[in-house]
Amino acid sequence: MAEPGTKGKVGIVGSGLVGKSWAMIFAGAGYEVVVYDIIPSQVSDALTSIQSQLTDLKKSGMLRGTLSPEEQFSLIKGCSNLQEAVTDAVYVQECVPEKLDLKAQVFKDIEQFVNDDTIMASSTSCITPSEFTGELKRRSQCLVAHPVNPPYYAPLVEVVPSEWTDPSFVERARKILEDVGQVPVCMKKELPGFVLNRVQYAIINECWRLVTSGVISAEDIDKVMWAGLGMRYAFIGPLEVMHLNAEGMENYIERYGPTIEQVSSTFGPNPSYSGAGLREVVQQLNSRSPLDQLEERRKWRDTRLAALAKLKQEQDKL
């Protein structure tokens, strides 16, 4: 790895859940990171939290990169003005709340201080880049880099350009994100929901239809994912599953294409997420995972996610 801090500066704007994760990811790869938040106490809280998270990650064997927790933490600075955070940055990652007007204003503010080659990336989960970059002078430098929660363990980043994003910025963003150990996928054009949520919503729609039409319980449909499809999807995607489950994709389609078309024709319209169907699903979920035990259940989930990330890391070394 290059000398710590020599890869360039990354500005993180917004130091909440996602901003903190990005700061750790960039510092783990040796970037100099400057974190800014509109609330100064958020920055100091974020630094305290990052310091203890880095120590815990080391203890659990999940710390990224080759630098010690102390070396990584020394690469992260906090600041209380935007200019200081983004001036001379090679890459800026915006992580402010999911509000269109706020994103538009923050990008307008950021663009005053960055260089001609600074990549300006937004963490937005569902706002397309053209919605908040259209009015900017530096709109060709802007794109979305949407992480998956928790970004430290789930490395996918959806890189989404608008029609005016310079393709060379997309390519450079991809290289930087790969360099920090994420797994970027680049969309060729923007679409609502990007890609992850479009796929996720297609799955949710069918799960919802099956439960609300009385075909299966909510508990059992979730098992279909974690005990079935999810097992292989943790390592290979659905298209490669098809390719491997026959003598290649063409052979798979010869064998199963007509069945896919026939079953798909019985899916029905998009379900309604209200009324009796909603009440039924809510009741099943609440009795299985009571609302006053969600925090416990989240911890259970995150421990397993971390263990899976570790396993994948070890497998990748084989």
Residues that bind ligand NAI (CB under 6 A): 13-19, 37-39, 42, 95-98, 102, 106, 123-125, 146-147, 149
Distance, C-alpha 156 to centroid of its chain: 6
Q: Minimal CA–CA distance to 185: which of 166, 160, 163?
A: 160
Q: Which residue do the tokens 């928790």 mark? A: 150
The smaller minimum CB distance to ligand NAI, of residues 39 and 311, is found at 39
Distance, C-alpha 26 to centroid of its chain: 15
**CA-to-CA distance for 140 and 154, rounded, in angstroms?**
28
Q: Compute the least distance from the CB of residue 38 to ligand NAI, in Å.
A: 4
3-state secondary structure of 186: strand
The smaller minimum CB distance to ligand NAI, of residues 18 and 50, is found at 18
Q: Compute the least distance from the CB of residue 198 to ligand NAI, in Å.
A: 15
Q: Compute the least distance from the CB of residue 18 to ligand NAI, in Å.
A: 3
The smaller minimum CB distance to ligand NAI, of residues 48 and 66, is found at 48
Nearest residue to ligand NAI, scored by beta-carbon proximity: 16
The smaller minimum CB distance to ligand NAI, of residues 156 and 216, is found at 156
Q: Compute the least distance from the CB of residue 35 to ligand NAI, in Å.
A: 10
Q: Minimal CA–CA distance to 96: which of 166, 203, 11?
A: 11
94 within 8 A of 106, measured Cβ to Cβ: yes
Q: Which tokens go with 66?
A: 């080759």
Q: Compute the least distance from the CB of residue 204 to ligand NAI, in Å.
A: 16
The smaller minimum CB distance to ligand NAI, of residues 149 and 286, is found at 149
* Cα dihedral 250, 254, 256, 260 sign: positive
Label residue 28 exposed, middle or buried (CB < 10 Å: 0-12, 13-18, 19+).
Answer: buried
30 within 8 A of 7, measured Cβ to Cβ: yes
**CA-to-CA distance for 79 and 139, rounded, in angstroms?**
25
The smaller minimum CB distance to ligand NAI, of residues 100 and 215, is found at 100
Q: Compute the least distance from the CB of residue 151 to ligand NAI, in Å.
A: 7
Q: Compute the least distance from the CB of residue 150 to ligand NAI, in Å.
A: 8
The smaller minimum CB distance to ligand NAI, of residues 105 and 217, is found at 105
33 within 8 A of 75, measured Cβ to Cβ: yes
